[in-house]
Amino acid sequence: MIEWNQTSPYPENVIPNLTWNGEYNVRCGTDRLWLDIEELKKQQIVAVRYEKHDADGVIWDTDYIMNFKEMKMAIRLDRSYLEEALKVDPAFSTPHFITMLIKGNYLKKDHGMDVLRTPLLVNKDNAAVVTDFLQGKSRYRLPLVLIVKTADNKNPVDVKRLAGRLKGAAHVLVWEDSRFWEPLREACPKLHFPPGCIDIYFPNQAVGQRRYLYRQGQEKQLLEKIIATVIQYANAQLIDPLYTWAGVNSAIYQERYLSSKAEYEATEKERRDALHQLLTLQSQRKAEAEGIREQALADAKREADKILDSFDDDMKKLQEENAQLRSQVERLEYENQGLRAKIDSNTKVPVLSMGTEDDFYPGEIKDLLLKTLSEKLESLPKHTRRYDVVKDIIDSNDYQKISEQRAAKVKALLSSYRGMTPKVAKGLKEVGFEITHDGGHYKTIYYGDDRYIVVHAATPSDGRAGKNNAADTIKKVF
């Protein structure tokens, strides 16, 4: 890390006069440019965080967690934007530090395949690298990006740039020449590889495969889509807390806390014994003088226990506060991961732009749009451009059908409506309705927005009133 920082070609990244004498748990630099080195000795883990505040409002955090017991390393690059940030750039590349690891031959092979920062050209001599994988004979721990030449024997994207930006996060394999497709066709006759297609295969088979097709003039957008897809997969992986900066620091804090607790308890034991001895001597003298030795000893013990119990109460309180703080740290860490995943999932060129309406609940607008598209899809003739485009958008956006689930709950609540019972009121509030009562009818207001009001009779006389109210409510808000 120090070598990376001190040899950086960018002066704004270099921490001046950075020296290290081998000590851990130290921090160097300034408030806007610093390096922190921490050691979790019992676990043989060293964690380093580098943070830089750009002049344009961007904060860069790079974490390096090295576990020497397992000989594994986690590298995490994160960007945050201050309110005054001048730009928000979603483009991403893995850290340059991985290039240093590759050049230094520090990276273990991925089940026989080298981890490279350049594309691997596949030809008739090494075609088994691809064919064995597609036939299930070999697996890799990193995603595999397989690129087929276009009809005019060109690469559909800048493969060198792609491999450079995904170094350490995926293997980029490029079919060297369209003339060598034959081994691929022979080995996998059931698979179809159209010219210019780019397939991404993930280690987790449950995630499946993603395919992108070449469109002339869309090379840059296609490049960003591939990178975003791979990085989103990486961000979604569950990481052991001891491979995160927050997790290591939490463990270090816990170690220090337990060590301090042990020292505290030993000290308190010595203090308790000394206090008992002191008060015993005092009581003995008092008993000799007053002739009430036993009572004096009991009083002395109670006084000592009372004093020391107060220390125990303080310790218990500190333990509870520590547990609460650790819980808050973990919750905030998971919340930040979710927010980062949400930000990372945004494509560089969105299909549509948001209007002025805000979500009533997370993902509401997206869900309603996908529901509308799904309903429209049923009426579109198959094998048409509109059908393929609409279906592709639906398939690519993880339609959760949240509004349909909420509509089903409302229908179940209101279909047999006989009045605003506590059960009905509770169910309606759970899906976002506010309920008012003016002495006559009830009004349900969706998330307090007066545009979406449904009136319910206090004592309906019509047996179909509930079904009608359910239909009106679903039509209005779902």
Run of H or E including 259: helix 245-290
Neighbours of 24 (CB within 10 A): 14
| Residue 203 to residue 169: CA distance in whole angstroms | 12
d(CA 67, CA 44): 6
The secondary element (H helix, E strand) that includes residue 270 is helix 245-290
Amino acid at the residue 211: R
Mean pLDDT of 336-342: 54
Q: Is the dihedral of CA 253, 5, 169, 236 positive or negative?
A: positive
Average confidence (pLDDT) over 365-378: 92
What share of the chain has pLDDT > 90, as a percent? 37
The listed range with the strongest mean pLDDT (243-257, 258-272, 348-362) is 243-257
Can you tell me the distance from the alpha carbon of 453 to that of 444, in angstroms, rounded to the nearest whole number? 6
CA 145 – CA 122 distance, rounded (Å): 12
* Nearest-angstrom CA–CA distance, 104 and 119: 18
The tokens for 296 are: 């004096």
Q: Would you place residue 270 in the very low, low, confident or very high pLDDT band (cuts 50, 70, 90)?
A: confident
Show me where the domains of the chain are located: 2-89, 120-235, 255-344, 402-477
Query: Does the pLDDT of residue 319 top 80, yes or no?
Result: no
Q: How do 144-147 and 120-122 pair as beta strands? A: unpaired
Residues 45-84: tens digit of each pLDDT: 999 999 999 888 889 999 999 999 999 999 998 888 777 6
38 contact partners, CB below 8 Å, separation of at least 6 = 24, 25, 46, 47, 48, 248, 249, 252
C-alpha distance across the termini of the chain, in Å: 53
On average, the pLDDT of the chain sits at 84
Distance CA 235, CA 244 (A): 13
Percentage of the chain beyond pLDDT 70 is 82
Between residues 67 and 355, the one the model is more confident about: 67
The position carrying tokens 């409510």 is 473
For 445-470, write each residue's pLDDT tens digit. Answer: 998 888 899 888 888 777 687 888 88
Got the DSSP string for 139-191?
--SS-EEEE---TTS--SS-HHHHHHHTTTT-EEEEES-GGGGHHHHHH-TT-
User: Of 396, 427, 400, whose CA–CA distance to 411 is shortest?
Assistant: 427
pLDDT band per the 50, 70, 90 thresholds, residue 293: low
pLDDT in tens, 203-235: 987 787 899 988 888 898 899 999 999 998 988
DSSP 410-445: HHHHHTT--S--HHHHHHHHHTTEEEEE-SSSEEEE
Radius of gyration of the chain (CA): 33
Q: How far is CA 233 from the centre of its chain?
A: 10
> Measuring CA to CA, which residue among 365, 361, 339, 362 is closest to residue 352?
365
Q: What is the pTM of this model?
A: 0.63
Quickly state the pLDDT bin for 310 (edges 50, 70, 90). Answer: low
pLDDT of amino acid 347? 47
| Residue range 120-235, CATH number | 3.40.30.10
Which of 99-108, 251-260, 402-411 has the lowest average pLDDT? 251-260
pLDDT at 348 over 60: no
* CA–CA dist 96, 147 (Å, integer): 24
Residue 394: CB atoms within 10 A of its CB come to: 17
Length of the chain: 478
Give the 3-state secondary structure of residue 121: strand
pLDDT for the residue 257: 80
pLDDT band of residue 294 (cuts 50, 70, 90) is low
Amino acid at 424: V
The C-alpha atoms of residue 252 and residue 245 are separated, in whole angstroms, by 11
Nearest to 280 by CA among 294, 265, 266: 294
Please name the helix (run of DSSP H) or strand (run of DSSP E) that holds residue 101, with its range, or none: helix 97-103
Contact indicator for 97, 1 with CB cutoff of 8 Å? yes
Residue 337 has pLDDT above 90, yes or no: no
